Structure 1
Amino acid sequence: MPSALPDGEPVPTDGSLPGSALAGIGSRQFGVYLHVPFCRVRCGYCDFNTYTLTELGVPGVSSYADAALSELDLADRVLRAGDETAPVTTIFVGGGTPTMLAADDLVRMVEGVRDRFGLAPDAEVTTEANPDTVTPEVARTLAAGGFTRISLGMQSAVPHVLATLDRTHDPANVERAVAYARDAGLQVSLDLIYGTPGESLQDWRRSLDTVVALAPDHVSAYALVVEQGTKLAAQVRRGVVPMPADDDAALKYELADEVLGAAGYGWYEISNWAARADARCRHNESYWRGDDWWGIGPGAHSHVGGVRWWNVKHPTAYAGRLADGVSPGGGREVLTQEQRYDETVLLGVRLVDGLPLDSLAPQGRTAMAGLIADGLAEPAAAVRPIDRRVVLTLRGRLLADTVVRRLLGF
């Protein structure tokens, strides 16, 4: 089952935000996340807020774009209460499987963002997709409708690994989907998962070699996390499959960095590599920087000016609230300065650009000597005459949680 939402204070029925959150909004980067909570089947490892057609029925899918456009109307009303917003710089359509919707509906939602807020001339517009759902027609429709990028859920090139993950796509369709996207003029990202039970180091190497041969613009590689409440967690608990080992994940991360680095991909965030600086996922970078974004859809999270909120999870409840003229927000929190600082350290340290040393509290600056001595932080970046920064070494990336705790004085 999808993970539970956090606790929080109630969201006003009109969705309004405190004046402090809206102040200066036009001077900050602003992105939009569009959540499409539908999948043909639910993968055994997934705890995202997704639903199958069996659970919701076809009408819930066919009318979904209209509900999303209604929330965009709400966002427009709420944000117009503050300073004028800047044009949207990034849109990311995630899921679920966004391409469960017709490509025309995905385009309609992007047009909804453009009509209400405007799009920056160089806006990045991404959709995730299952490789089996991408056809030449879909790719052309997306590109003509303003999409610039497609992120394909490849996960692995090895059939038995895909089977353990309950992934249903044909591995051969990844190559076809990449070709269709390129022919349409879209940038391509490939998403991988490592550490699946039963995946050998040779299996992982095969997936990496396949990715390099496909030459995408961007690669994401995430260690499998066994989330409580998922089918995979139940299989581990019953002894059907073994729990992934930390050492195995570390070896596979090191191999990913080696293979992708040798192929010309530079890491810019712990789990992400890009062929060029302009191929980085700018939408995700905005999350890591703590910029503003509005999350559209059931269970979607938003952040504007230090206020974070999340929508009710079920698509029926979500659509019902909007139909009644009520915000779908299920809860929110106004972040304290201490929370915002902690998140800046937690997220910023994951980036190749690192964190300015001058932005750290005294205990963080004091911790730097030990981090360098332990091989977790790059000494050259920390001691240069100007713009001194905390930048992780490869070992530091593997132990990023430890680095964060030490910088925060825990």
Structure 2
Amino acid sequence: MPSVLPDGEPMPEDGALPASALAGAGARPLGFYLHVPYCATRCGYCDFNTYTASELRGSGGVLASRENYADYLIDEVRLARKVLGDDPRQVETVFVGGGTPTLLPAADLVRMLAAIRAEFGFAPGAEISTEANPESVDPAYLAELRAGGFNRISFGMQSAKQHVLKILDRKHTPGRPEACVAEARAAGFEHVNLDLIYGTPGESDDDWRASLDAAIGAGPDHVSAYALIVEEGTQLARRIRRGEVPMTDDDVHADRYLIADERFAAAGFDWYEVSNWATTEAGRCRHNELYWTGADWWGAGPGAHSHVGGVRWWNVKHPGAYAQALSEGRSPGAGRELLADEDRRVERILLELRLAAGCPLGLLAPAGAAAAAKAVTDGLLEAGPYADGRAVLTLRGRLLADAVVRDLVD
């Protein structure tokens, strides 16, 4: 979750949405994102809206601490019920992210989940996920999560090499994420993901291959692999600027992506989004698919973003301001925007083109349609799906996805 909030119009104090937002809601899935903004330490590459204990110390006023945070989060879930009124939809996905959600007691995560169940109910087969740092869980913790209703878990592995983890300021030791997969399976988790990062300064191709082999060998049914983005204002950006560590270039990122896709394919993982691979359709992250296909989700927590029926809003960033608003019976929303039809068309192209299913050619304006035809000729879009009315990226197109998207949205 980026730390910078966009501009927008003020959010009503009661959080009320325009009537148009719920029109046709029954045809759209509804999910919840729960943001836990706490970390034991700050990773050098992280630009998310997270806080360590020292960063919150002395902030004054009402404070959502780790000890009472679940209570405020539950207050926002109840606010969501009031705002959505008689919306009959049950929740199809929940994703608890951060930060490090598993810094909270497992009982608190389960209480947050229970609040959603009480207010909305869960659709049959609902996907209930949480992120976890490998060093923050043990078998008893995982068993408590599973007994409380979680059925999917995502571990931040990042790399199997100690020197790479050190550059990223990750605290777990190599081998611990793989052990976590086994512990999660033993606890009864149906779906397990490992997150990897490639392109870290000082990482070699062989380091990356070792990380891929370790992740695949651990037996998850889902792996996410992201190119390292060096965000301004982070410790890593300052280290690169001072010349302490080298910057990885785009060609290296492309090579690492090709290595990953080859390794995953050989192990039975299929790509379904540019940065995500799964062994089965059931193993895909349905919550992320909800984002990519423009469905509805309520984001609870400091800085969390929400979208319902073409209305997008975002909460205040600081846990203290978040807690203050809820303690006063106000929405923690900082601002919102009502998306015009053109905005939603462009967003569909931006997001759906990243999916293996691609985006309908009917979404494209004339200039975009011409660009799509050229992209087929240039080997960036698959010819077969194009003939069937869809724009689907080739492997080369995935490497140049941002450029392809820019052409198609014209």
Q: Return the match for 2:313 from 309, 313, 319.
A: 309
What is the aligned partner in structure 1 of residue 80 from structure 2?
A: 75
1:312-351 counterparts in 2 under 5 A? 312-351=316-355
Aligned equivalent of 1:18: 18
Counterpart Cα distance in 1 of 2:259 and 2:93: 31
Cα contact 1:14–1:327 (8 A) shared by 2? yes
- Is structure 2 residue 182 aligned with structure 1 residue 179? yes
Structure 1 segment 273-288 matched on structure 2, within 5 A: 273-288=277-292
Asked if 1 retains the 8 angstrom alpha-carbon contact of 2:12 and 2:331, the reply is yes
Q: Which residue number corresponds to residue 62 of structure 1?
A: 67
1:358 aligns with: 362
Contact 1:71 1:322 in 2 (8 A): yes
Confirm or deny: 8 A CA contact 2:38 2:66 kept in the other structure. yes
Match of 2:110, SS state, is helix
AA partner of residue 78 (structure 1):
V
Residue 105 (1) aligns with residue 98 (2): no
Give the equivalent residue in structure 2 for 1:240: 244
CA RMSD of aligned residues (A): 1.3
Residue 239 (structure 2) pairs with residue 208 (structure 1): no
Cα distance change, pair 183–13 in 1 and its aligned pair in 2 (3 A): same
Q: 1:362-391 CA deviation, whole Å, 9 max, x = no partner?
A: 22222222001111000111114xxx2111
Answer whether contact 2:3 2:303 (CA < 8 A) is retained.
Answer: no
Q: Match for residue 289 of structure 1?
A: 293
Query: What are the within-5 Å matches in structure 2 for residues 47-196 of structure 1?
Result: 47-56=47-56, 60-80=65-85, 84-186=87-189, 187-196=191-200
| 2:181/2:219 contact within 8 Å kept | no
TM-score, reference length from structure 1: 0.96
* Aligned equivalent of 1:399: 400
Bigger shift: residues 347-356 or 131-140 = 131-140
Q: Is the 8 A contact 1:79 1:85 kept in 2?
A: no
Matches of 1:91 and 1:272, distance apart in 2: 18
Deviation for aligned residue 1:281: 0.1
Residue type of the partner of 1:360? L
Alpha-carbon separation, structure 1, partners of 2:9 and 2:370: 36
1:315-341 residue CA offsets vs partner (Å, 9 max, x unmatched):
011011100001100111111111111
Question: Which amino acid in the other structure matches residue 169 of structure 1?
Answer: H
Counterpart secondary structure, 2:180: helix
Aligned-partner Cα distance in 2 for 1:108–1:228: 36
Structure 1 residue 192, shift from structure 2 partner: 0.3
Correspondence for 2:228: 224
Tell me: CA distance 1:59–1:357, structure 2 relative to 1, closer, same or farther (3 Å). Answer: closer
Deviation at residue 59 of structure 1 after TM alignment: 7.2
Structure 1: distance between partners of 2:292 and 2:68: 32
Q: 1:365 aligns to what SS in structure 2?
A: helix
Matched with 1:390 is 391
2:255 to 251, 255, 268: 251
User: Are the equivalent residues in 1 in contact too, given 2:345–2:363 (CA < 8 A)?
Assistant: no
Q: Which runs of 5+ in 2 are unaligned?
A: 58-62
Q: C-alpha distance in 2, partners of 1:319/1:249?
A: 40
The count of aligned residue pairs is 404
User: C-alpha separation between the residues in 2 aligned to 1:43 and 1:77?
Assistant: 37
| Pairwise CA distance, 1:2 | 6.3
3-state DSSP of counterpart to 1:38: coil
Which residue in the other structure is 1:46 paired with?
46
**Which segments of 5 or more consecutive residues in structure 1 lack a partner in the other structure?**
none
Partner secondary structure for residue 3 of structure 1: coil
Pairwise CA distance, 1:211: 0.9
Q: Would you say the 8 A contact 1:381–1:389 is kept in 2? A: yes
Runs of 4+ in 1 over 3 A off after TM superposition: none
- Asked if 1 retains the 8 angstrom alpha-carbon contact of 2:178 and 2:215, the reply is no
8 Å CA contact retained: 1:27, 1:86: no
How far, CA to CA, are the matches of 1:73 and 1:314 in structure 2?
20
Query: What secondary structure sits across from 1:150 in the alignment?
Result: strand
Q: Secondary structure at the match of 1:163?
A: helix
Q: Is the 8 A contact 1:40 1:53 kept in 2?
A: yes
CA-to-aligned-CA distance 1:183-218 (integer Å, 9 cap, x gap): 111121000000000101110000001011112010
